[in-house]
Structure 1
Amino acid sequence: MEFYKYYRAGVNLGGWLSQYFAALAGEGHFDRFITEEDIAIIAGWGADHVRLPVDYDIIENGGAKEPFQEANLEYIDRALDWCDKHGLRVILDLHKAPGQVYGYGSEPNPMLADEVNRQRFLAIWTMFAKRYKGIGDRLVFELVNEISDPTDYQWNRVYVRAVETIRSVDAERVVLVGGNDANSVLTLKELTLVEDPKVVYNFHHYDPLFFTHQLAHFSEDILEYGQVIHYPGEMPGVQEYLNRHPEYLHKLGRQAWETNDKQLIEKYLRHADNFTTYTGKQLYCGEFGVIDSAKPDDAVRWVKDVIELLDARRIGRAYWSYKEMDFGLVDRNRNVVNGELIKVLFGK
């Protein structure tokens, strides 16, 4: 299956079954944040799929003891039914796994280093594989979101075990695997590849963060930089800023540039080109987007160029995110935030 053919233009459903405390959590959140009306809106825009992030603690039953939380699993079932009704495919993304730590620290990630957490991770995928074995090819599994592995070795071992675990139940399910360092395109080359035609590899594209996350209230490093960046345009003082803050180099400065333009996007995507050319494997971009503190016209221009370059490579993508979450295409009342962005994303 050519992945791009069926998963070309999608959107993330962030903030519903993942990161929900950062959104409008509270009584009835799961029942109201995403409903069939939202799925109908997304389908009406011309999307062909959604990426559905789910955090482990929503489905685990207190301390990893089975059975899993059936009432919450039924929200996933419901979403699959809505998407099937409205002609959308689904990527089921385990957005946070047991023990998972975000960010590139110096200590091993407990998700990968602790066998108890590894077993919990595998148990979740065993459950999903059994639960959805008969659903057909309209559902894809994504093992975990934005892994960070300071050892550079443990994730390769764990992901191969996870693929084998799923294959012991379901030989046909397409599985997405992301690279280290929060699904960076720069680390695709570090992945141990499996000879499985139904494994597709995955990266996220927010580079440069100085533009896509500008003035982000949740990011101390970007907030301190504190400048509005345009597209196309300059990123003044980026190198000087990184020189003053070597602690931010890994996150912000693995490839530091001071001009924000289409050529910069192409520089990053050359790593994707090398991966597909020399491995023969398929790629997918599970997240990309621009924060709502950026100028709307700049966001539209950047997204348009990213899509053009991804389409030229036959790499499908899902925008982050549908609703709120600082990157939302709609607000809490489903009002479109930037109509031009919808047109660029979905051609309508």
Structure 2
Amino acid sequence: MNRRDFVKSASIASLGLGLATPDFLRSIQPKPKNKLPQWKGFNLLDFFSPDPAKSRKGTTEEHLKWIADWGFNFVRLPMAYPHYLKIDHSKNITPDEVYRIDEQAVDKIDQLVSTAHKHNLHVSLNLHRAPGYCVNAGFYEPYNLWTDQAALDAFCFHWNMWAKRYKNVSSKKISFDLVNEPSMREDMNDQHSKRSTVPGDVYRKVAKAASESIRKENKNHLVIADGNDVGTKVIPEITDLNIAQSCRGYHPGIISHYKAPWANKDPENLPEPKWPGQVGDKYLSRQMLEEFYKPWIELVNKGVGVHCGECGCWNKTPHDVFLAWFTDVLDILSSNGIGFALWEFQGDFGVLDSGRADVSYEDWHGHKLDRKLLELLRKQ
């Protein structure tokens, strides 16, 4: 027994099993070693809209400097592939048009990536809308990523393009997050149509093809796959492919997406969220979260990199409930070496200008800063 283990054993013995608290016992357990760095940061939504004309105001270098100065080291760019195509956005896209790359639009994305790198921020490129799939409807998809070879071919084309563009950039600075929150949807263009799990062999086929198209340019490129069932479930079928996996910090949805119209068919008739507490027919508690994240922690222990690519809470959840719940979410992730990215930096889920009715905001260079949320994120 080495000296460190002896001291730990002696500490437990001196306390006695009856006096050793759960917090103390957790504190002396060795943390699992995550293959991915414990990145902490934000999603930036500059390229989130399929139509560039409808995009929000862009992230500035000043924003990136604040992120870095506050101690964060990661940004995720969820992109809609039509955003960087040269097409008529007022018409339904055709399969041929999916290949019409607009180099000027790609250059704008590259400029944000380069500026983030200037401030020592790792950038994760993500296809939030990929050819043939998006967790959100609102843009006509001409085929289905999970069932149509033409969609998979286009998917691989896009990822090869991005991999080629960053061929000589270190995996410490760039990663490729294949497709946001996969699921099988009965109707790809109906937001509320029936969903189910992507069959494991199907997910493997898509992830393997895309990762190979990326690593054809650089065998050391870092590839990440979002969890199955809209990011919630580990994908055991790909653990041998040297692909990291990305979980979510939205469980349970009654807390994170309270009254969100895109996530609820009847958003105005939902039970009021509490944490902890009885909400509808369920008692919500930290134990619920620990069960939810258990498979992800086991994945870390098996040597697969894990990151939480999105987390947070829409602005209709009472702020005190949000912070109480989010404290538990972040503690479970961080204590297991799993980093996170808040959805989003500025906007309804963000630390800036979230529009909450029950927050005493701090003025921050003309923005409204949720200081309590920022400090919670920083201390993890």
Amino acid at match of 2:245: Y
Cα distance change, pair 228–20 in 1 and its aligned pair in 2 (3 A):
farther
The question of whether the paired residues in 2 share the 8 Å contact of 1:215 and 1:227 is answered with no
- Choose 1 or 2 for highest CA Rg: 2
Look up the match of 1:219: 263
Give per-residue Cα distances to partners, 1:56-97, cap 9 Å, x unaligned: 101233343645111111122111221122121111111110
CA–CA distance in structure 2, aligned partners of residues 334 and 3 of structure 1: 39
CA RMSD of aligned residues (A): 2.5
Question: Which residue of the other structure, out of 234, 237, 249, is the alignment partner of 1:205?
Answer: 249
Amino acid at match of 2:317: A
The question of whether the paired residues in 2 share the 8 Å contact of 1:234 and 1:260 is answered with yes
Cα distance change, pair 96–65 in 1 and its aligned pair in 2 (3 A):
closer
Cα distance change, pair 224–344 in 1 and its aligned pair in 2 (3 A):
same
CA–CA distance in structure 2, aligned partners of residues 49 and 159 of structure 1: 23
Matches within 5 A, 1:91-170: 91-102=124-135, 110-137=144-171, 138-149=173-184, 150=196, 151-152=198-199, 153-170=201-218
Look up the match of 2:106: 73
Structure 1 unaligned segments of length 5 or more: list them.
239-257
Q: TM-score by structure 1 length?
A: 0.82
Amino acid at match of 1:202: S
Look up the match of 1:8: 39
Cα distance change, pair 103–191 in 1 and its aligned pair in 2 (3 A):
farther
Cα distance change, pair 164–26 in 1 and its aligned pair in 2 (3 A):
closer
Matches within 5 A, 1:189-338: 189-196=235-242, 199-221=243-265, 223-235=267-279, 237-238=280-281, 258-277=282-301, 279-324=302-347, 326-331=348-353, 335-338=367-370
Per the TM alignment, residue 292 of structure 1 is displaced from its structure 2 partner at its CA by: 0.7
Identity of aligned residues (%): 26
CA–CA distance in structure 2, aligned partners of residues 103 and 316 of structure 1: 25
Matched, 1:345 2:345: no
Q: How many residues align?
A: 311
Q: TM-score by structure 2 length?
A: 0.75
Give per-residue Cα distances to partners, 1:89-132, cap 9 Å, x unaligned: 1111111101114389xxxx811211111111000011011111
Q: Which runs of 4+ in 1 moved over 6 A?
A: none
CA–CA distance in structure 1, aligned partners of residues 154 and 341 of structure 2: 27
Per the TM alignment, residue 46 of structure 1 is displaced from its structure 2 partner at its CA by: 1.4
Structure with greater contact order relative to length (CA < 8 Å, sep ≥ 6)? 1
Give per-residue Cα distances to partners, 1:121-162, cap 9 Å, x unaligned: 000011011111112220111111111134513222111111
Look up the match of 1:251: none
